[in-house]
Structure 1
């Protein structure tokens, strides 16, 4: 093992610190091609990742860039810079540490290209931009190490795929490059190690002492939770009591809208004027930075937040985490729990607050999973080809390349290990010409092949446009929100364009914890004024809508199958016992379908436990089957665990509704003409470079981008149905918004074991669905029948029928 220089041992001794075993082991493995370190939050992962770099640089001069640190969050890079600069300065080390993100000035970026620091802290998007320059070989000359923080978060998204493609380019420029991945929450270490490795190189896995188990429980509230909803307003007094008992509390929510509502209610109940704040990704950057600075100074007692604070920023005074609403994913819950007591060998304290009665069951299942160290995760499948297309264009910006060489680089990336040369060539052909139906248009003629076979940009000036559109994060169509002033007032954040379109002057909504009044829409900016007087609308914000993971759903079903539920509150136990008396419990390996008459309509409830997206899609497909079978459906509503359908005719035999072949045919025909496909196409086409959201003169607004992408989609569907992007779109839609894969998994798991119970009344488990928002009407025979019946009644009342 590389010994620690004296300046390091002196610095540690002065603070009464010592190296943890995993930090020493990282020094010992400094020359390993790749190492994945899994250590608990507060266990010094970041220092462990940087120690070999700091020791190497302390022992001798190094010209240029030595280590790249890559983070999924700009704020995390800035936080690491603060934490790394302090020991470097205090030890008197001649090491330059800088960050490079979207917030870095253009002047600083130019200087970093000309004179790179020893350690550069950046994001996947900024790295992709850096490798697109012609001088990339000079910028990265001498690069020895890459440290990827919170690697589990990147591995779950296209940002991670883009990062690994960028690292394959760095590997070609720096063959002896060492990779380090850092994470606290990994459900499958060997799989993540394969993701981090490159080509034939193996990746070592280093497991640190996990430390003490977290102190986690459900918050005790005197009032039982409501039947449905996600606001958890009933728990506000108990949450306020916990805030008063702790120094700093993080209150996590699954959606930005829920965070805004909860913060508003918390603020109204905050009679002691405790300093509290709200933090989420749709707020203005200045406001987020102000909240983060106040947290760092220990000035806030509570922060209502979302996934914007999930990852490893070190807020030392946080001593309690509260998760409002079922966590949906155990790994995310563990990550959030780790924000409390961000210190090694100190248990994290967390409380769960179910927002409704069924979530009490889900929260208990999640608690059991955390205590069993049973993390969940979904298999990601092959590397997305839209990201590969963008990578090919990025590579072309840096200069001419040979297709065979680039294919070998890409095929060394784990997610793309199964990529065939034919699939690669199809992506290259798309990048060069746009594909068969578009090759006649000059704007998509981007690459040409030289006489020696190398590919290069047809017009070097197109590199600017490609660079302006680098990245895989897809904005929803959002509009800025500002206070109304003569010259443009204070920015508050942004809301989705679709929500803004519903506003009329005088309407109020919540943003940043305050009620604002919509005044006007000017130059794609929502202008507002303060108005605390009326009940606000609920704004819609960009952000992931989580679905309950497959593994957590399995735990919920196992919990429901228990004969008794001693760990559940009495009111929930009584509810579940009543379900057994009236109907039966859903169970693993079977599909429970209930039907009953209620309020003059026939109801059918399907307990699929497949997550909200899949249950929503199931509602579309089953109502389509019911229409074919003459059952006259009128509409449906879905949650993570069930779909409730209402119509005019009773279901007497549920089995025909779930014929897999018929559902597949119905899905294909529905998907072909659905807006989901166009929305998915737009995202993939933007990533692949067919559509540019950013252009030198201005940025397209959402409506303009949708118009151009819809025209392209319709053109390709009509004239080139086998186009690469249509194939990519279909794959993305299948595993994304509609989650059809989970429906197929459910049908395979059930394998025809369908239990259909005809009930005399509404079942206890079905009852909450009657209160669920987001109902979807079905236009079909039932609507025509009701219209005909109403017409007949009116005619009879008017004496116009015999």
Structure 2
């Protein structure tokens, strides 16, 4: 149901006067949210970027604190990003100070000093801005019941960013605990990009009761102005970064006040920054921002942006959400956005106002990415958002939450289970599964219960569960968290100044004297310690650090639109000449599949035989499929050599022709080769490492020291082998399998592809390479080329492929 908004006069005079002094009037959806609060209802606000969602979320809080001032915590604001919490504090403090209100607003994240954290528990502010992880830690203290007893409202900002993942599981459990402490707690969620409002209403509601959550929808804003930047020459055949356009991007920065240049990975952000700096003839002030930079470096850049001192900022998803810098008047997306919702979020950083069009430019990396960029623009214009998939809550997250509850106070098993089931992700949790989780937290499970280091809980004669020793409380608080990054080494100068962190695996490839780009600088390694990479600045050419797990999947929404482009020549008139020519020659030489078809081409080339499947299921799924298909080729005696993939296609190649691709794509590959491959590869062990850390089985941090990645991996591998042998049904092995299947291999998309392959496959046997195959085949050799080597030989090979493919006989 949607409420009738109250008149603006229902606002306290302090707020009414403040709006008037600004020459503003409260928007309809802001008053709607006030009405929802006055009625004591939970609320979900879906409103476009720049519509004043933050003020809408806080307006009831400000009104209540003006009308009935209180000491103690009134409103808890939860955001997915530390930078967003800091930005909200800055933007909320201004009106509070302008109105002269006695309201304290503070942040609490992993960056907050420990003395302030301790003080906040004793004397909390009226409004506390935090993250799911910091909230979970707060709930692990015995005084949590006192601190949150008077809590009136929790505001979840950018709810789409984490509700469907493990951080959402943790927050959902945290809200269930808060509701038990403060039964009158009102829940509010805000987002600009929600495809399924009812799904989010159910996630937000206590006990999943959707009728208790009122949906408020904002007025549509001005349509965004999005363009696709075309190169001065021809659109490249391969690549995914848009680096060719550095000079054109600098020209755009020169003509705008402030530009954010978004990249899909941290490594690409460093690379693009270097390209832009080289092309920066006017010496415009530029910056770089991503999650691996130090807090000092990030805050310095954020402050410079807030003060209008930067003309351009190269950033990753670390600035995707909600950060409001008023002078940003252009957003540039390097490479394809991979999803219409992500593109909308990013372009919303430009002209952050409801009645002014956001200006954005997409720089596609290759011809397929041009089609993807065009698909994204069409989806944004049509109001199509990427679907969100809600799933059962993760068991490793549940184990961490149970431990947090035990740290706070002894608990009754049945009471805690009822509380947990009130969180939607765990609403179907069985008593048997909860008992397994609880007994894992108690002593590690059957195979590990003999070891004292895992005996964390005990059950009293009265049935209450409690912590066995205070050391386990300290251990939990040191190690709790959901984001498990690869082990990192600090990058610092000899004087102690820290620039940020790189992954231990990348550092292991470095030696003293080697160079790499980081934080916008070229750095030379002086020495490598167990925890630090000590560097000095240099002008020598350098590498770019690599980071695992950062590749974004192509959304099914955009994949379907690209398929539609291929099958509909009437659309091609909208495309540049070289893209249109590419598709026309493909149509003449082979086939362009319809959206429901799986095109598989086979052809010989230079003594090898190639098979290219155009399945559009994303790089992750294609990588997994490549592993499985080449294994099956091996068993069939087809002598495979290798495979390469991108978001759009998978190419396998070997010494023998493939007469019937259907035999390689049968669904039983997931039952046979998939299970065997996962068990024999490091994939499941990596998944187990993550769930073991989240579940609290293995600690990363011990007092005064952080374990190295090798130490953590050694510990988890040992435990993994023990559990596989003696307790294969262990709760963490179940969690690891769920992670490996759902996230690391995109197995859902893989299964859908294999299920339809037999009925929808079009096999075309060609005498030579097709135009459609060029983008993926140009990847052969590139991914393994040594750092610093010239690309000339690879470029020559690409030119040969193009000439061969585009020749019409």
Shared fold, TM over 0.5: yes
1:48 and 2:30 correspond: no
Instruction: Count residues in correspondence.
Output: 773
SS of the residue corresponding to residue 227 of structure 2 reads strand
Q: Distance in 2 between matches of 1:640 and 1:291?
A: 33
Q: Distance in 1 between matches of 2:482 and 2:749?
A: 24
Q: Distance in 2 between matches of 1:720 and 1:598?
A: 50
1:489 shift after superposition: 3.5
Q: CA RMSD in A?
A: 1.5
1:586 shift after superposition: 3.0
- Is 605-614 or 524-533 further displaced after alignment? 524-533
1:751 shift after superposition: 4.9
Q: Distance in 1 between matches of 2:672 and 2:711?
A: 33
SS of the residue corresponding to residue 630 of structure 1 reads coil
1:23 and 2:30 correspond: yes
1:393 shift after superposition: 0.3
Q: Distance in 2 between matches of 1:430 and 1:11?
A: 55
| Contact 1:230/1:258 (<8 A) preserved | no
Note the 1:211-360 alignment, pairs <5 A: 211-360=221-370
| Contact 1:225/1:234 (<8 A) preserved | no
| Contact 2:379/2:385 (<8 A) preserved | yes
1:154 and 2:178 correspond: no
**Aligned twin of 2:131:** 123
**Aligned twin of 2:743:** 736
Distance change (3 Å), C-alpha of 1:542 and 1:751 = closer
Note the 1:546-695 alignment, pairs <5 A: 546-564=552-570, 565-695=572-702
1:721 and 2:731 correspond: no
- Is 234-243 or 686-695 further displaced after alignment? 234-243
SS of the residue corresponding to residue 108 of structure 1 reads helix
1:775 shift after superposition: 7.3
**Aligned twin of 1:197:** 205
1:335 shift after superposition: 0.2
1:542 shift after superposition: 5.3
Q: Distance in 1 between matches of 2:765 and 2:260?
A: 46
1:297 shift after superposition: 0.9
**Aligned twin of 2:788:** none
Note the 1:12-161 alignment, pairs <5 A: 12-30=19-37, 31-161=39-169
Q: Distance in 1 between matches of 2:314 and 2:119?
A: 38
Distance change (3 Å), C-alpha of 1:776 and 1:505 = closer
1:180 and 2:183 correspond: no
**Aligned twin of 1:544:** 550
| Contact 1:637/1:775 (<8 A) preserved | no
Unaligned runs of 5+ in 2: 1-5, 785-809
SS of the residue corresponding to residue 765 of structure 1 reads helix
| Contact 2:530/2:708 (<8 A) preserved | no
- Is 522-531 or 202-211 further displaced after alignment? 522-531
1:87 shift after superposition: 1.6
Q: Distance in 2 between matches of 1:568 and 1:664?
A: 42
1:557 shift after superposition: 0.6
Distance change (3 Å), C-alpha of 1:200 and 1:253 = closer
1:376 to 364, 386, 403: 386
Distance change (3 Å), C-alpha of 1:498 and 1:42 = same
Q: Distance in 1 between matches of 2:45 and 2:342?
A: 18
**Aligned twin of 1:460:** 470
TM-score normalised to structure 1 length: 0.94
TM-score normalised to structure 2 length: 0.94
| Contact 1:591/1:750 (<8 A) preserved | yes
Q: Deviations over 1:11-46 (max 9, x none)?
A: 111111110000111111103431100111111111
**Aligned twin of 2:802:** none
1:640 shift after superposition: 0.8
Distance change (3 Å), C-alpha of 1:19 and 1:539 = same
1:235 shift after superposition: 1.1
Runs (4 or more) in structure 1 with deviation over 3 Å come to: 773-777
| Contact 2:666/2:757 (<8 A) preserved | no
Q: Deviations over 1:659-707 (max 9, x none)?
A: 2114421000010111011111000010011011111131111111011
SS of the residue corresponding to residue 722 of structure 1 reads coil
| Contact 1:259/1:306 (<8 A) preserved | yes
Distance change (3 Å), C-alpha of 1:137 and 1:27 = same
**Aligned twin of 1:764:** 771
1:497 and 2:504 correspond: yes
| Contact 1:478/1:542 (<8 A) preserved | no
Q: Distance in 2 between matches of 1:212 and 1:694?
A: 49
2:373 to 363, 366, 383: 363
SS of the residue corresponding to residue 87 of structure 2 reads helix
1:505 shift after superposition: 2.5
1:462 shift after superposition: 1.5
Q: Distance in 1 between matches of 2:470 and 2:488?
A: 32
1:425 to 420, 423, 435: 435
1:544 shift after superposition: 2.5
